[in-house]
Amino acid sequence: MTTRMAALLLLRRLAAGGAVTRLQQPYAGLATAAARQDALDATGEESGRPDKGNKNRWMELPPFAPVDAAAAARAIFRGQGGDEIEGNSNSTAIRWVRRCCPHLPASLVQKLFRLRKVKKNAVTAETSSTDASAEQFRLRRVSAKDHLVPGDTLFLPVNIQESPVAEKARKFDNRNEIDFLRSLEIYKDKAIIVVNKPPGMPVQGGVGIKNSIDVLAPMFEENSSDAPRLVHRLDRDCSGVLVLGRTQLSASILHAIFREKTADALADGTQQVLQRKYVALVMGTPRHPKGLLSAPLAKVLLQDGKSERLTVRAGPNTTSVQDALTEYRVIESCPRGFTWLELFPLTGRKHQLRVHCAEVLGTPIVGDYKYGRQAHQDWTPLPVPQTVDEELLRKQRLPFGLVLGGGSVAEEQPQLHLHCKQMMLPDISAAVQGLQSEDAERDFSGLEKLSFVAPLPLHMRLSWEVLKSVDK
């Protein structure tokens, strides 16, 4: 209701003050309130008194209209209406500026607040005999942590467009690198980008990591200063379907959907809104052809005192334990003790599939030297059949230090054989469009499910061909 009142107040201002340039799409950029500019220029920023010497020009952000991403994700996940999505929000001024201006570096936004360059409207209504409702505009300084209420409008200096906002941003002008990264795209719409992440490429930066998906994400956009955002993770040596949010709102909703998936699984829920299927080659054969693995995970510190790993841990004295659930199904048992599995993570824990395969099933994943080192001590490469396609044997250097080819079961040191083959998600773009519409009744029960499939990487395809020919 508060949001509707704010909208009516804004419309009344427009009628009284003249035409105001409005954003064509929410959060797409800045709008200049031209009709009110003279009034704002003549308004003392702190006192409210006219100041003819004030030369500041201001750019107006959209009125604050909170959307609870977690509530939206729950409504989408359960296929319900979204009546509870709008309401009171704890969003701060700096969060709203970053949402409306994603192209501005975080350091610049913080600097604007430190220099007291961000203002908030302070509108007072005055009645007179000639005008039943006249409004006086005053600008007040707002701090980064100030909480906003629906209808609050923030203003930034108009000359911010002249600032070197990209002075610290990395330049992406290598055409080969850009073309390679975009060749990984499986799907793209207004809300998300889905890529087939190659093995060996880190998803997130860190010590000693120069090129990662989060750093290179701006390459996915042609004419946009808003870089896609990570919403989930894949291990560095894992490959397959990776989803990025193209806007802060879509990324926030996706984050919440992944969290909702884990919570639903632990509560014995049956929701199938988010589904992921992995393919893995393991050493050994599970006792049962399919099953549900329920084993909590905990971090342990290794002997060097610096490194850590996850392990199955349960008991009353265990701390920092996270419950983890994985469904599995045997695809095919192969000679020499190898097995192809389908893995369906119901929760989203770090290294969940690798630990469950190694410690619960007793079948470590091929190429997993962290959780299956002992099983690889007596590793013997398998012979390559003469009938194998030469394309599978060819090695090629790729951008960002990646190598195409090698790492199959025919190698002395195979790569990790774990691949996210398929993911199913609700149509986030349609959901975001519904959230941004003026329709108060939002129903997500009819959202279409989108399915994304990533082909196996070269080393796993070669291993499949090698294992098919063994002992034949």
**CA–CA separation, 34 and 17 (whole Å):** 10
239-293 pLDDT tens trace: 999 999 998 788 888 988 888 888 778 787 666 788 999 999 999 999 999 999 9
**CA–CA separation, 372 and 367 (whole Å):** 8
**pLDDT at residue 455, rounded to an integer:** 97
Active site residues: 235
Neighbouring CB atoms inside 10 A of 366's CB total: 26
Q: Which of 12-16, 52-56, 192-196 has the highest mean pLDDT?
A: 192-196
Q: What percent of the chain has pLDDT over 70?
A: 72
159-176 pLDDT tens trace: 765 444 333 445 677 889
Between the two ends of the chain, the Cα-to-Cα distance in Å is: 72
**CA–CA separation, 249 and 321 (whole Å):** 31
305-314 pLDDT tens trace: 667 888 988 6
Helices of type H across 199-247: 213-216
320-366 pLDDT tens trace: 788 999 999 999 999 889 999 999 999 999 999 999 999 999 999 99
**pLDDT at residue 161, rounded to an integer:** 54
Task: Name the DSSP letter for residue 191.
Answer: S
470 phi, psi to nearest 5 deg:
-65, 135
Q: At what angle do helices 34-41 and 2-17 cross, to 10 degrees?
A: 80
**CA–CA separation, 449 and 428 (whole Å):** 9
* Interior/surface letters 49-74, b for 16+ CB within 10 angstroms, e for the rest: eeeeeeebebbbbbbbbbbbbebbbb
**In the chain, count of helices (H) and strands (E)?**
11, 18
Judged against a pLDDT cut of 60, whether residue 17 lies above it is answered with no
Task: Name the DSSP letter for residue 73.
Answer: H
For residue 464, name the pLDDT band (cuts at 50, 70, 90).
Answer: very high
**CA–CA separation, 38 and 19 (whole Å):** 13
135-154 pLDDT tens trace: 455 788 999 889 888 778 89
124-134 pLDDT tens trace: 544 444 444 44
